[in-house]
Amino acid sequence: MAYPQETFRFAHVDATSLLGQRRAAASASMITYQLQILKDTGRYDAFSLKWQPIYDKVPEYWPIADHLFWDSDIGKWIEGACYFLQGESNPNPVVDGAIKELVEMIRRAQQPDGYLNIHYQVVEPGKRFTNLRDMHELYNLGHLIEGALAHNQYYGNDLFLEPMLKYVSLIHRVIGPRDGQLHGYPGHPELEIALMRLHHRTGDEKSFELARYFINERGNPTGVDGREFYTVEAEKRNEALDWQPVWYPAPRSHWYQQAHAPIAKQDTIEGHSVRAMYLLTAVADLVRVNPDSTDLKEAVYKLWNNMVEKRMYMTGGIGSMKQWEGFGPDYFLPQGTDEGGCYAETCAAIGVMMLAQRMLQYDLSNEYGDVMELCLYNAVFTAMSVDCMKFTYVNQLASSEKNPSERFGWFQCACCPPNVLRLLGMIGGYVWNVSESKKSDPTQIDVHLYAPATLNFETSAGQASLKQECDWPRDGSIKFSLIGEKRYVQLKLRIPGWATAWEISPALSHLDITDGYLTIPAEYLALHPDFNLTFDLKPRLIAPHPLTNQQILTVARGPIVYCVEDVDNTWVTDHFRSTHLDPECLTKNAVTEIKTADPSLPDEIYVSITVHKAAYTVDFDRLKIKPSVDKEDLHKTIGAAKVIDELKFVPYYYRANRGGHGMARVGLKQWTW
Amino acid sequence: MAYPQETFRFAHVDATSLLGQRRAAASASMITYQLQILKDTGRYDAFSLKWQPIYDKVPEYWPIADHLFWDSDIGKWIEGACYFLQGESNPNPVVDGAIKELVEMIRRAQQPDGYLNIHYQVVEPGKRFTNLRDMHELYNLGHLIEGALAHNQYYGNDLFLEPMLKYVSLIHRVIGPRDGQLHGYPGHPELEIALMRLHHRTGDEKSFELARYFINERGNPTGVDGREFYTVEAEKRNEALDWQPVWYPAPRSHWYQQAHAPIAKQDTIEGHSVRAMYLLTAVADLVRVNPDSTDLKEAVYKLWNNMVEKRMYMTGGIGSMKQWEGFGPDYFLPQGTDEGGCYAETCAAIGVMMLAQRMLQYDLSNEYGDVMELCLYNAVFTAMSVDCMKFTYVNQLASSEKNPSERFGWFQCACCPPNVLRLLGMIGGYVWNVSESKKSDPTQIDVHLYAPATLNFETSAGQASLKQECDWPRDGSIKFSLIGEKRYVQLKLRIPGWATAWEISPALSHLDITDGYLTIPAEYLALHPDFNLTFDLKPRLIAPHPLTNQQILTVARGPIVYCVEDVDNTWVTDHFRSTHLDPECLTKNAVTEIKTADPSLPDEIYVSITVHKAAYTVDFDRLKIKPSVDKEDLHKTIGAAKVIDELKFVPYYYRANRGGHGMARVGLKQWTW
């Protein structure tokens, strides 16, 4: 089983190309920037268990205290920092010292029986494990465990892992199927992933048992004396029937946390999108270990398909409903928060990547690889500034006056920034994979992402390295070099679904493409250890499903989805709501495609695309809607549109880096009149 | 000032035409059907103040007990029944007896100080006036007052009115601007309307003072010791900060009840749509009495315009958000509950009619008359079955598997059915109006609706009657006859905005059309007391604003909006989601327009419209969305659509009367490929 958190160590990503540049920027600034914020906000010292004034504050989102996720913020930062330290020749002593101090605080904070939680040790002592549904104790533990695993990997000691195993042992006593135990499961899944990894690393059986129990027990309608756990738990707390957290559309909306039915019986992807992705990632991990659990495996496919086909934005973002930070009904995908809803949380897109990475290991198909890459370069990359010090939580596809296109330094609920940090830290593990199912000769390397990187691996005959040289995705050409042992290596290269023209050189005598992965056999590699794969990255137009009622198009080039911004198109005043795009815009007149950089960001090379006289603005103010309009009047108004001489598109990830008035939009209305 | 509740007595509506038929059916069946339900559900006996088992029940919608609106159900039924009794030569003795018994119970139930409320006298004694925001005490009183006014009008006694005046006197002591009084206002506006009418009928000054206070105090951010009333009230109840009724998207969302700002400072129409309409109707009433209140008058215009231009469905329905039964953001108007939201509550459409009727009295413009008629025949009429014994609460424009097109016998919260009853009872008052501003000669009759009816009125020279003969809106021709005094009468006839072709015969020598109302001068009437007005009702296509992102069209004919149903178009399986309509469908091939009736409903004549080979179904299953599709593939799939030989439209109000599988849709995707 290959976890990117483990395998990234064998892959070195150069500081070039879009991916390499962002990883380098994260290394240079994101780690220390986030550390400073941890210190400034009280998070850093929280495991000292001293009272902080913020604990008295009325929470921004009742009933969740503002500090409730601090444990996880610490865990995720340590995790991310350790990934970056691992590859560095001169580790930053400030970062190293902070990790050591934090671990020391955590060790001291742990109670003798293993319990460890900032909120319940400081603010509400005596109430531990009374609200698994909302209070994130188990979620926090999950992130601490993942931090401890990274710490163990880098430092080679058990200083952080040992208290985690002790805490797991406590949970294993408290929660489980036996009489006297709580028959519960985490309100926010994450611990399940961590436990599977903890078991993978240490062989700890309690971890595996707990993970399996959480997954199988979840949504059991008769788990506690014939009733559902969260309902019984709520009654024990004397929770009034009219009580509801602000993100519940109704009291006891347990679909919010994917607990409305056992996972195998869930037909559509529902509720909070990050929870859904973390849960399914853990389910996929369990399925990989227990390939017999066919009902769970079918559920993963079913929910994935529902998501990708009906509930995902063109950018890879998921979740249109702000209230529950999650999925709306099928095809409900407005582009903006002010147009009916658009959430597309950063962590959720990272979760999609996690799930896709797992699915690729039991089903090597470009369907998963394509979505993984789409999320990375669009829904995730749009969530950080070029300098890696500003972030978004919500990634709408269209701005509005109320919700302009912008980024922020931090968030009260700060799950996203350190999640980006750890993703970039381990990103080498997403690039490729030594295929599990082919442990026998030849060793098979599945290449999911193209990036300037080198992978070191073992073959039956000895060490080998696979090197990619490229400027992906700005440029479509990748040079592969197999170094060292060549006779026992086979490659599977992803041919993205969008790639209509590509070539390999020297040519392959026989093209074997299965589920979008091209086989490069050992015989070819023995003859041609250096070869080139080249994709034609010519711009194309993409659209969402017509049932989304958007009737929009946007430009895409390779894996990159484009948007328009007011900083380039200064005439705009309405966030491009009335801007229409000719479906023939890419063929009709000349299209300008320039590899360029802006003066303010000279190192940030990107490809801009400009369409000429093939976009229009409609003067909607001419329409008198009371409350409808005659078709003739509508067509007349739209027919009187103004031609836009030049409409310039830039990559969606690049938005909000160059000033402007916060106007940006991915999908433009299709001009069909 | 003309209230339809008063003026309907001077107008007799014949039992023919669509409007007359529905009114007659209501008279024949709706009154007694609803009386029986009042009895079966415990409402009828509730003012006996005996405990009922339902009072123990866990409410369906916390914290609102299921019986909380019972007072208003009784009030509205009495009101509606009295309107019908008024015009009848043989009043139904059962109805008459029930009204008398109910009034007797109400009189006995009233407490010595004037207080009267089922919930607070039986279930929570001692808690009166502690939750004006949620508990509907004042709303209930409003509907009881309107019942009492109708009772007084029909019976000519004060048996019901007297206890109401006593209760108002109590409220006047308890709530108001003075020290020691509650500085509050009703959570659900309605009492304001009732008080204005009570003052109008009786001259009671306390009623007027209270109404004015409620309207002016509403949303005052500093009303109670520098703070907002509902917040202070909530704190007095020790309401937790995380507490929220299920329909609040966040605790203390006071825009839900239009109390987020003083009315004059509200820029957009927000929150619960019925509350918004009742409130603005009362504001309009106050403005009519106090024409100097220009800031309130401007608010009425501003909020009306925002509603009609950006937040109203093509059917006249308002409110897309189920959670708060109200308005979404501008242009957010999905057609179905399963497509993102569509509420369009029946009572809200009745509220739009109320408001429009008021606005017509200070601004005679077809903008208000058109919307009033649109709501009547579409958003309201679709809410009752042909036999007037089944109803809807939510009036979506498109069905889905989860929310099929259907009607119900009753509702736990039963505001809509008796609201339809009282509207039909007084509908004659909506048809026309003796213009206030023209009390001098000649007497001006403003004709807003066309219907087979006779209006009796006074002129300075004596009695006159205006008679309309027509089969509107099935037929576009209306014969007017002025009977009696003719020399001192002037008419203003509404020329609807949709009417592109019409004629008057004998011809007018000079056409004076101001704001969509045609003047028929006294000179003409003296010469031609009988004349004809004929509108060409040829079908047309209408569309909502493009920013609704619907890209739909539907057929309209006169004021009637059409829909398609599976009972006529039996091939449909997907609720017409993939059905597209050619924008040239009405001119391209022959269109069949038939005045017809179905065998199961032989008396229900309607005009059906069938388009031939000008609609298409697209096989969306061919699209592989992961999560977008290339424009070429999209166009190929849509281009491969199947032509529908015949697509039959029926009036939207007629849906769900003939069986079928509950599939219906108003707007069909525009075919533009």
**pLDDT tens digits, residue range A140-188?**
999 999 999 999 999 999 999 999 999 999 999 999 999 999 999 999 9
**Cα–Cα distance list, A268 to A255, A276, B334 (Å):** 10, 11, 21
Q: Which of B631, B670, B673 to mutate to test the interface with A (most CBs of A within 10 A)?
A: B631
Measured CA distances, A195 to A1, A205, A421, B289, B591 (Å): 14, 10, 21, 72, 67
The pLDDT of residue B244 is 76
The stretch A574-599 carries a mean pLDDT of 95
Q: How far is B246 from chain A (nearest CA, A)?
A: 5
Residue B116 backbone class (left: φ over 0; alpha: ψ -120 to 50; beta: rest): beta
User: Is the Cβ of B559 closer than 8 Å to some Cβ of chain A?
Assistant: no
Whole-angstrom distance, CA of residue A140 vs CA of residue A119? 11
User: Which of A1, A25, A2 shows the shortest CA–CA distance to A13?
Assistant: A25
Chain A environment of B630 (Cβ under 8 Å): 498, 540-543
Nearest CA among B372, B302, B349, B380 for reference residue B516 = B372
| DSSP output for B123-180 | ISTT-TTS-TTTS-HHHHHHHHHHHHHHHHHHH-S-TTHHHHHHHHHHHHHHBSSSTT
So what's the pLDDT on residue A170? 98
Q: At what angle do helices B346-362 and B273-289 cross, to 10 degrees?
A: 20
Residues of chain B with pLDDT under 70: 1, 62, 436-440, 673
Q: Which among B249, B309, B541 is the nearest to A625, CB-wise?
A: B309
Q: What is the pLDDT at residue B460?
A: 83
- Which residue of B244, B628, B636 is the best one to mutate when testing the A interface, meaning the one whose CB has the most A CBs within 10 A? B628
The first and second tokens of residue A571, run together, are 């005439």
Rg over CA atoms, chain A:
25
Residue of A nearest to B341 (CA): A340
Q: What is the pLDDT of residues B613-632, one digit of tens each?
A: 999 999 999 999 999 999 99
Calculate helix-pair angle for B273-289, B191-202, nearest 10 degrees. Answer: 30
Q: What is the pTM of this model?
A: 0.95
The confidence score (pLDDT) of residue B436 equals 63
The residues pairing with B444 across neighbouring beta strands, listed in sequence order, are B490
Any chain B CB within 8 A of the CB of A370? yes
d(C-alpha B43, C-alpha A419), whole Å: 57
pLDDT for residue B251:
80
Which domains, ranges and CATH numbers included, belong to chain B? 4-429 (1.50.10), 431-536 (2.60.40), 539-670 (no CATH)
Task: Output the pLDDT for position A673.
Answer: 52
CA dist A305 to A367, A376, B103, Å?
Answer: 10, 19, 61
Backbone angles phi, psi at B643, to 5 degrees: -75, 135
Beta carbons of B497 and A626 less than 8 angstroms apart = yes
Q: Does A549 contact B544 at a Cβ distance shorter than 8 Å? A: no
pLDDT at B672: 78
Q: Is the pLDDT of residue A25 over 60?
A: yes
Which residues, in sequence order, are CB contacts of B337 under 8 Å at separation 6+? B322, B343, B394, B396, B400, B402, B403
A367 touches chain B (CB under 8 A): yes
Which of A244, A374, A498 is closest, CB to CB, to B246?
Answer: A244
* B468-509 residue pLDDT tens: 999 999 999 999 999 998 888 999 999 999 999 999 999 999
Query: If you measure CA to CA, which chain A residue comes closest to B316?
Result: A627
Predicted local distance difference test score (pLDDT) of residue A359: 96
Q: Looking at the DSSP assignment, which residues form a beta bridge with residue A564?
A: A649, A665
Q: How many CB atoms lie within 10 A of CB B430?
A: 26
Residues contacting residue A301 through CB under 8 Å, at least 6 positions apart: none
d(CA B205, CA B176): 14
Contact with chain B for residue A323, Cβ under 8 A: yes
Report percent pLDDT > 70 for chain B.
99
pLDDT value, residue B400: 97
CB-neighbour burial class of residue B442 (10 A; exposed 0-12, middle 13-18, buried 19+): buried
| Cα A230 to Cα A132: distance, rounded to the nearest angstrom | 8
Number of CB atoms found within 10 A of residue B598's CB: 17
Residue B397: how many other CB atoms lie within 10 Å:
30
Residue located via tokens 């609201």: B419
Contacts of B582 (CB under 8 A, 6+ apart): B588, B611, B614, B615, B616, B671
Distance (Å, whole) CA B554 – CA B313: 12
Distance (Å, rounded) from C-alpha B150 to C-alpha B154?
6
At A178 the pLDDT is 97
Mutate to test the interface with B, among A549, A623, A673 (most CBs of B within 10 A): A549
CB contact under 8 A, B618 and A323: no
Task: Characterize B194-233 residue by residue with b for buried, 16 or more Cβ atoms within 10 angstroms of its Cβ, and e for exposed.
Answer: bbbbbbbbbebebbbebbbbbbbbbbbeebbeeebbbbbb
Tell me what pLDDT residue B440 has: 62
The helix-helix angle for B416-425 and B31-41 (nearest 10°) equals 150
ipTM, two decimals, is 0.93
Q: According to the model, what pLDDT value does residue A437 have?
A: 52
Computed on alpha carbons and rounded to an integer, the radius of gyration of chain B in Å comes to 25
Q: B interface mutation test: which of A339, A343, A578, A631 has the most B CBs within 10 A? A: A631
Q: Is the pLDDT of residue A66 over 60?
A: yes
Return the sign of the alpha-carbon dihedral for residues B255, B261, B264, B266.
negative
Q: Enumerate residues 29 to 68 of chain B having a beta carbon within 8 A of any beta carbon in chain A.
A: 58, 62-63
Could you give the 3-state DSSP secondary structure of residue A301? Answer: helix
- Taking the CA of residue A267 as centre, how many other CA atoms within 13 Å lie in the half-sphere pointing to its CB? 2
Nearest 5°: phi and psi at B131? -145, 75
Residue A63 has pLDDT above 80, yes or no: no
- Nearest CA to A4 out of A355, A493, A362, A495 is that of A355
Output the pLDDT for position A303: 98
The per-residue pLDDT for range A294-341, each reduced to its tens digit, is 999 999 999 999 999 999 999 999 999 999 999 999 999 999 999 999
| CB proximity A582 to B under 8 Å | no
- Tally Cβ neighbours within 10 Å of residue B577: 25
Q: Rounded CA gap, B627 and A373, in Å?
A: 12
Pick the closest to residue A409 from A430, A426, A391, A429 (CA basis): A391
Q: What is the pLDDT of residue A62?
A: 66
Given CB atoms, is B636 within the 8 Å cutoff of chain A?
A: no
Chain B's closest residue to A322, CA to CA, is B249
